[in-house]
Chain A
Amino acid sequence: MFKDDDDVAHLLKAAGKRSEPAPEVSDKIWQSTHAAWLQAVQAAKFKNENNADNSAANKSNNLSQLGSTSITSTTKPWGQVWFAVAAAVLVGFMAFIMVPKLNLLGDNTTVVAQLIMTNGAVNIKPSLHEQVINAGAHLTTQNDGLVAIQLTDNTKITLAKNTEIIVANAGLIRLVQGRIYVDSPDANTSIIVATPLGEIVDIGTQYEVNVTPTSLGVAMREGVTKITLAGKTLYGRVADGLGDAITVDTHLNVTKDKIATADDYWLWTQPAVADFNLHNATAHDLLHWASRVTGKKIIYASPQVQRTAEQTHLSGGYLAAQSISQVLPVLFKTTSLQVVEQREALVVSE
């Protein structure tokens, strides 16, 4: 049937890329599947606890049987029967109470994120209880607003001013308008940013998505993103300190530019960065954090310098992202290391 590998190539090319279900379908089914999954997890937990209880009970029975006669071990006392009936009634009652609650988990009571910072005028619907954001929450920033949230997989989303998003679930953000910055530190997890013109999926990265009525913009600062448009897939990457800046217009015309990872353009995200706790952190930890915040790579003068940084422990309070440039050189004067901040790098020497 297949004469050679060219047949495979022709067939695949003719068939085209596998079609993806519509985002709203994916979103809807995610919600219901997530709810069903949470119920399955609860059920598994309940079963495990029951098994553990039964196993403990059996162990206890076995121990008691060691000291009893064969008659007492084979005859079920009435007390046990009544206990079993009572337990069954209790389990039924608990199930009655619990199941309707569990059914709600997938709707707007599924915790998907936590609010970590707000500044200026910010509107969050429904209103928050203990900084917890549930699936379906609607976040809007006004002209002077800035807000940052952290999803359950530690991905941080920062909203610039005049931005509107819907946190559909723990893995899907709908960007209605405005600009968000995504900082996804874990390469093993990824989230989807859905926009009117396409979807962006990250692979352990930092990037910005900007939606206007006439365009979609994706600016890369670290890692790789996959951008899926109608019938077209693009990849955003970073190389040699330069990230892709991709713009897509409403006719799906794509233009590509570059932006330095250490460009001042990214400064708008800094107020949303959590302060760094110096207590018990190593110099290496601090440099790593500073590198992610500033987009500057770390250059160690030698492997020995890197080892020293890893073994140098710091102490003190918190360091704000905005004061990195001022504080870093001073702070390192208390160690055997020296840090020089260059345009695109933090150079560390002894």
Chain B
Amino acid sequence: MLIAVCSNLVLKKKREDPMHQADVKLVQELLGGDEAAFRVFYNTYFARMYRFCRSRVSSDDYCSDIVQQSMTNAMRYLHTYRGEASLLTWLFQIVRNEIATWFKQYGKNDQHTQALDANAELLAALESLPVGLEGNAEDGDDEVKLWVQTALDALPSSYGLVLELKYIEGLSVQDIALQMGAGETAVQSLLARARKAFKESFVDVQRGWAHG
């Protein structure tokens, strides 16, 4: 009885104080019909969902259909989002489900529909890649690129942006500060946090691939 009461309290506290308050707020604004919130939502998550799909399905055409259906499902079940996981995780799970449904429906009969992580041979090849950390990514392997993109997409938007500006576009900290409307010290600090988060995210992505 006491345990039940305690767990109820925990549940209640979790509902009242969700870990992903910004995500919950965005969803509430969406459900309230806020057009600006919709734009923020779409601009933040669409490309990430698409890349997530493309890292698992080898055709742009099929990905387009899968992500379209995933987005529609996300909107349909938006009211069920409670903030227990991040909105990105929640959306990725919807894409994952949609990919599974897609393969059940079409995959077996379509040679062009090939899930990368369903291909044992390719997966083995990927696992054997040196990942570039030992200096072998200069040829820009698509797979390594996918891992990096997936790892970047899993980070908060500001982390992904600052890493791209610094290391891919080659901007100086001063330029990034100007670009982001922040101080240089703040950018240095953001970069340090972003690098740390990227390392963890990349390892997670690799581990995810290795375990299918």
Contact = CB atoms under 8 A, between A and B. Distances in A.
A35 to B, nearest CB: 8
A176 interface: no
B35 A21 contact: no
A66 interface: no
A1 B147 CA distance: 15
Nearest to A187: B181
> For the side of the interface on A, what is the size category?
35 or more
A11 B30 contact: no
A189 B198 contact: no
B64 A28 contact: yes
Among A30, A33, A45, A233, find the residue whose CB has the most chain B CB atoms closer than 10 A: A33
Given A18-B51, A25-B50, A33 B71 contact: yes
Interface of B is mostly: helix
A10 B47 CA distance: 24
Given A2-B133, A21-B46, A29 B76 contact: no
B36 A188 contact: yes
Given A11-B133, A14-B140, A37-B75, A45 B167 contact: no
Interface string B14-37: 000000000000000011110110
A36 B42 contact: no
B72 A36 contact: yes
B140 A1 contact: no
B164 A12 contact: yes
B199 A37 contact: no
Interface stretch (B95-103, B121-129, B148-156): B148-156
A2 B203 CA distance: 9
Nearest to A2: B199
A57 to B, nearest CB: 22
A1 B133 contact: yes
A22 B60 contact: yes
Interface in A15-33: 15-22, 25-26, 28-30, 32-33
A186 to B, nearest CB: 8
A28 B199 CA distance: 34
B168 A13 contact: yes
B108 interface: no
Interface string B103-137: 00000000000000000000000000001110101
A171 B39 contact: yes
A14 B36 contact: no
Interface in B59-96: 60, 64, 67-68, 71-72, 74-76, 78-79
Interface string A41-66: 10111010000000000000000000
Contacts of B160: 18
Given A21-B46, A189-B36, A11 B148 contact: yes
B151 to A, nearest CB: 9
B38 interface: yes
Given A8-B195, A18-B51, A29 B79 contact: no
Contacts of A12: 148, 163-164, 167-168, 198
3 A-B pairs with least C-beta separation: A15-B148, A36-B75, A14-B137
Interface of B: 30-33, 35-36, 38-39, 42-43, 46-47, 50-51, 60, 64, 67-68, 71-72, 74-76, 78-79, 131-133, 135, 137-138, 140, 144-145, 147-149, 152-153, 160, 163-164, 167-169, 178-179, 195, 198-199, 202-203
22 contacts: A1-B131, A1-B133, A8-B199, A10-B137, A11-B132, A11-B137, A12-B167, A13-B168, A14-B137, A17-B169, A26-B46, A28-B64, A30-B42, A30-B46, A32-B68, A34-B38, A36-B75, A40-B31, A43-B79, A45-B33, A153-B39, A190-B43
